[in-house]
Structures are given as structure tokens and as C-alpha cells.
Amino acid sequence: MDPNDEIAELEYEIALLRKKLHEKESKLIQLKGQCQVALDFFVDVEEPSTSGSSVSSSSQPQEVVRKVVKLPSWAITRYSRQIILPEIGVSGQAKLCVSKVLVVGVGGLGCPAAMYLAGAGVGQIGLVDYDTVDLTNLHRQVLHLERDQDISKVESAADKLRSINSNIKVVTYNVQLNSKNAEEIANGYHLVLDCTDNIPSRYLLNDLCVFLKIPLISGSALKMDGQLSIYGYKAPLTRDSTYQYRGPCYRCVFPKPPPPETIGSCSAQGVAGPVPGIIGTLQALEAIKYLTDISNEKLLVGRLLIFDGEDMTVRITSLRPRNSKCAVCSKKPTIRALGDYEAFCKTSAREQELELDILPEKRRITATYLNRMLTDNLSKNGPPIVIDVRSEGEFRMCRIEGSLSSPKEKFGQVQMEKVSKLLKSRNNEIVFICRRGNDSQIVVRQLLDGVDRMYHDRLYDVIGGLHQWAKQVDPDFPIY
């Protein structure tokens, strides 16, 4: 048998078996859910006080009613390694078991965070993400496997979390968290983990947590660096106590969003897999500390942990204190409801949606047309000069044969002059290309505004960039 046929046949059989396994696991989870194994064990038990008075009487003074927590023996065994810790103990474990944590973003940060929360026995974990698993996610998004490609991230992650711990409840929300759905989704959770990758979502989550009076554990990771802090912290699980901030909220520290052009992203700038692994894991640790009531001073409240994976250094810096005039958490807030965070941050919450259209139509060509220009001698002036404006690292990774590199980040006066010289000394058309067709437009726009009009007709941008090149021209060209 041809080895390729054998591989295909085996993959098909395995997929069928997995489907069957998944159906059975889902049924098991459903049945276990009906039995309420997860949370019922952990309800505080009231015991008679030494005075012998009845505990059922609601008029009983607080001090004569002793509340003890009882864990079933399976739970003691299962969580013994953390129960032994004096910082957690039986009562800490019981608190974890009745806690509900919402993880927003099930990517590089959300995967490790949710894994450890599931392992620790957090009673309910909510997972929010609208995205599906992509091959480029797998080097860091450790709950997703090769076989999960193209399926929803929340379902992929929920599957694994349920296998890690079938005694917890995992709730999935396959949506983008936004101003309309956020309050309904987050209602009832004790804590939110911000594991997203964009600024509008950070402000949305901050305001949401302020309104719901719950803390926000916010993480971020890019390239070799990561950061972590807890915002708007409230006295732990003391539902009856008055609401008190102990640290600044995200808006106290960052009242204004950064300019959109300064914001980096993993897909544009890259990220080393273990970095979000470390930060997501620390988010879970802070969550466990917070939920088990570990001393306030020991939490990252009003402090920012900065991890540098290149130097292997960890720094903790103090954040600005609470702002008494904060727009959302001060005594007289100007923001009283969730708003339009994309407009506030002047950027989209979904990177894929960003599609610039800033050039006249005649300056834009398709990837197919560029290929024809390169191969069919369409112009008497010879094939076009192709200039790739992605970073040097990306250019080294893959490129159109014969193209030149001139990264957009460094495209200033010097590069403008170089292109001007090229336009003067040669008659070829110059075609700019980037990954998705946004940066190349920005560069061509700059040139149209900077070089003599007589040259404008020789400048082009490729619609959809190298992604379209891979789709229309070269199926072997890597899409990343």
C-alpha cells in the first residue's frame, strides 16, 4: 500500500474513534453534571456550637455558630499536594472548589492559566473566545492539539480541561466578549483573567470588572517579554463586606490608550512559546492566591511584574496609585456603562478585521497580476521590482524570489530617496508587498505623497499581500 494512502486511512480511522470517544465523554460529563458532584460537597456545613444551641435557628447569634468545611475523601486525596500547604489548607481548597473564574481569551495565556485552574479544582471555569485553532497557535497554546485545527478554541480547551478534572464545571462562550454581552457572561463569576491580546478588550474587561466589583488579573506576552498585574482588587470572597479597592484599576494606571501604531501583536512581532506559558501560569497562581485568601500584601495589587525572557530577569515595579479622579472607579465616575472600546482605542479588537483601503484603485494590483507581470513580460520596461516591506526576520523566513527587502518600520527619508533614485534611474514598475496588504499600502501612500507626480503611475501595492500570493499563485508559500 502507498504510505500516503496508509496515512490517510489511519487518520480517518483515528478521527472516527475520536468522535466516538468524544460522544461518550460528553455523555459522561452530562451525567456527572446532573449528579452535581462538583460543587455540592463544598457548601459550608453549620455545626452545633459548644453551648448546644440549635443551628437551624436564624436568630442564632453569629458567634455561637461554627462553620466548618468538609471535603469528601476523594477531594482530599486529589488535592492533597496543595491542601498540605499551610497557605491553602482545607478551607482554601473549599474556597477554590466553590469559586467561579472567567478566562477571557483561550490563546497563549488562557491555555496554561485555565489548565492550572482546572488542576487546582476551581469549581467553575468559564472560557470565552470567538476564534478557531490555527496551526500557528500550537507552539504556545498548549491546550490545543494538531487534531483541533479549525475547531472552536473554547470547545478544544473545554475538552482537555474536562479530561484534566471531571469534577469541575467548564462553561464555554464561543463569542467575542463585547459591551453588549459582557455583563451577562461575566455575571456570577468571582474573578476575571484577561488573557486577550488587544487594547480594546483590556479596557472593556477593566470597566466590566469595576462594575461587577470583581478583580481582574491581567497578563500580556509579546516577543520575549511578559507582564502581569491585578487590577481593582477587592477583599477576597467577603461578599457581605463593603466593596473596597485596594489597588488601582487599569484606567487609573492607563487613563488613555496607547497610539494604535505603537501596539505590537504576536502575529506581527512574534512570541516565544514559553513566555505566555510563564505569564499565564502566574495568572493562575495569583488567582489561586486570591481565591484562597492569601494575604493581600502578597498579591500583585498596585504592582506590575515584568518578565524578560532574554535576560531571564523578573522585575516588580509599583504602579501609579489609585486615581481619585479615575473615569470609572472614582467616587464620581464619568463612565457608568460599557461603551465603544474600539472607537476609544482607535483600533480593532480583532486583528484579522483590519483591512486598510487608502490607495486609489489603479495603484492596487492582485497577486495573480503581479505573477503575470513577473512571468509574462507584460511591460516593455521588463519585470517589476518587487519590494517586500515586512520585517527582516519575516523576509528571511519566506519571500517571493528576486524581491528586495525594505521593512516598513524603517521606511523613512533615506528609503524614500532610494526609491526616488530607482524611479529616476530605471523604467521598471515598483510593486510593494507585505504580509496582508496593509503595510504595503502605507508605504505606497507615503511615496505618493513624497515623490514627483510623474512617477506615480509606476508604483503599485499588492491587494492582500503574501496571503493572497499563497492563495492565488503559489500554494506552497507559507501562510503565517
Compute CA distances 190 → 153, 221, 247, whole Å: 23, 24, 17
User: Which grid cell is 250?
Assistant: 487599569
**Residues in binding contact with ligand ATP, number by CB under 6 A:** 23
364: β partners:
461
Q: How far is the CB of 266 from ligand ATP (least distance, A)?
A: 4
**Range 326-333, long-range pairs (CB < 8 A, 24+ positions):** 326/248, 326/249, 326/251, 326/252, 326/255, 327/251, 327/255, 328/206, 328/207, 328/210, 328/249, 328/251, 329/210, 329/232, 329/245, 329/248, 329/249, 329/251, 329/252
Give which of ligand ATP, Zn ion, none residue 198 binds (C-beta under 5 to 8 Å, depending on kind).
Answer: ligand ATP
Burial 419-457 (b: 16+ CB within 10 A, else e): beebbeeeebbbbbbbbbbbbbbbbbbbbbeebeeebee
Q: How far is the CB of 109 from ligand ATP (least distance, A)?
A: 7
Residue 93 as a binder of ligand ATP (CB under 6 A): the answer is no
Residue 152 as a binder of ligand ATP (CB under 6 A): the answer is no
Q: How far is the CB of 400 from Zn ion (least distance, A)?
A: 49
The backbone torsions φ and ψ at residue 304, rounded to the nearest 5 degrees and listed phi first, read -120, 125
Residue 227 as a binder of ligand ATP (CB under 6 A): the answer is no
Residue 391 as a binder of ligand ATP (CB under 6 A): the answer is no
Interface of this chain with ligand ATP, residues 48 to 77, rule: CB under 6 A = none
Residue 107 as a binder of ligand ATP (CB under 6 A): the answer is yes
Interface of this chain with Zn ion, residues 290 to 349, rule: CB under 5 A = 326, 329
User: Which grid cell is 90?
Assistant: 482545607
Q: How far is the CB of 197 from ligand ATP (least distance, A)?
A: 3
Q: How far is the CB of 352 from ligand ATP (least distance, A)?
A: 8
**Is the CB of 197 or the CB of 286 nearer to ligand ATP?**
197
Active site residue 434: yes
Residue 197 as a binder of ligand ATP (CB under 6 A): the answer is yes
Q: Are 291 and 96 in contact (CB under 8 A)?
A: yes
407 vs 440: CA distance, rounded Å: 10
Give which of Zn ion, ligand ATP, none residue 326 binds (C-beta under 5 to 8 Å, depending on kind).
Answer: Zn ion
Interface of this chain with Zn ion, residues 231 to 290, rule: CB under 5 A = 249, 251-252
Beta strands 364-365 and 313-318, pairing class: unpaired
Q: Are 251 and 234 in contact (CB under 8 A)?
A: no
Q: Which residues contact 357 (CB under 8 A, 6 or more apart)?
A: 441
Angle formed by the axes of helices 274-291 and 89-98, to 10°?
110
Residue 129 as a binder of ligand ATP (CB under 6 A): the answer is yes
Q: Are 363 and 448 in contact (CB under 8 A)?
A: yes
Residue 230 as a binder of Zn ion (CB under 5 A): the answer is no
Residue 131 as a binder of ligand ATP (CB under 6 A): the answer is yes
Q: How far is the CB of 322 from ligand ATP (least distance, A)?
A: 25
**Is the CB of 113 or the CB of 326 nearer to Zn ion?**
326
Residue 177 as a binder of ligand ATP (CB under 6 A): the answer is yes
Please name which of 66, 73, 37 lies closest in space to residue 49, comparing C-alpha atoms: 66
Q: How far is the CB of 87 from ligand ATP (least distance, A)?
A: 30
Chain centre to alpha carbon of residue 389: 27
Q: Which of 32, 60, 65, 130 binds ligand ATP (CB under 6 A)?
A: 130
Beta strands 303-308 and 225-231, pairing class: antiparallel
Q: How far is the CB of 195 from Zn ion (least distance, A)?
A: 21
Q: Which of 95, 100, 144, 153 binds ligand ATP (CB under 6 A)?
A: 153
Q: Which residue is nearest to Zn ion (CB)?
A: 326
Q: Which residues contact 154 (CB under 8 A, 6 or more apart)?
A: 106, 127, 128, 129, 172, 173, 174
Q: How many CA atoms lie within 13 A of 410 on its CB side?
A: 11
Compute CA distances 353 → 146, 194, 260, 347, 438, whole Å: 25, 21, 14, 10, 11
Residue 128 as a binder of ligand ATP (CB under 6 A): the answer is yes
Per-residue x/- track, 337-356, ligand ATP (CB under 6 A):
------------x-------
Q: Active site residue: 111, 249, 266, 329, which one?
A: 266
Give which of Zn ion, ligand ATP, none residue 130 binds (C-beta under 5 to 8 Å, depending on kind).
Answer: ligand ATP
Handedness of CA 17, 23, 24, 29 (dihedral sign): positive
Residue 364 as a binder of ligand ATP (CB under 6 A): the answer is no
Interface of this chain with Zn ion, residues 119 to 178, rule: CB under 5 A = none
DSSP conformation class of 319: P
Active site residue 266: yes
Q: How far is the CB of 323 from Zn ion (least distance, A)?
A: 6
Q: Active site residue: 195, 326, 329, 434, which one?
A: 434
Residue 156 as a binder of ligand ATP (CB under 6 A): the answer is no
- Give the binding range for ligand ATP (CB under 6 A) out of 23-31, 106-114, 312-320, 412-420: 106-114
Q: Looking at the annotation, which residues are catalytic?
A: 266, 434
Residues engaged in binding ligand ATP (CB under 6 A): 104-108, 128-131, 136-137, 141, 153, 176-177, 196-198, 201, 265-267, 349
Residues engaged in binding Zn ion (CB under 5 A): 249, 251-252, 326, 329
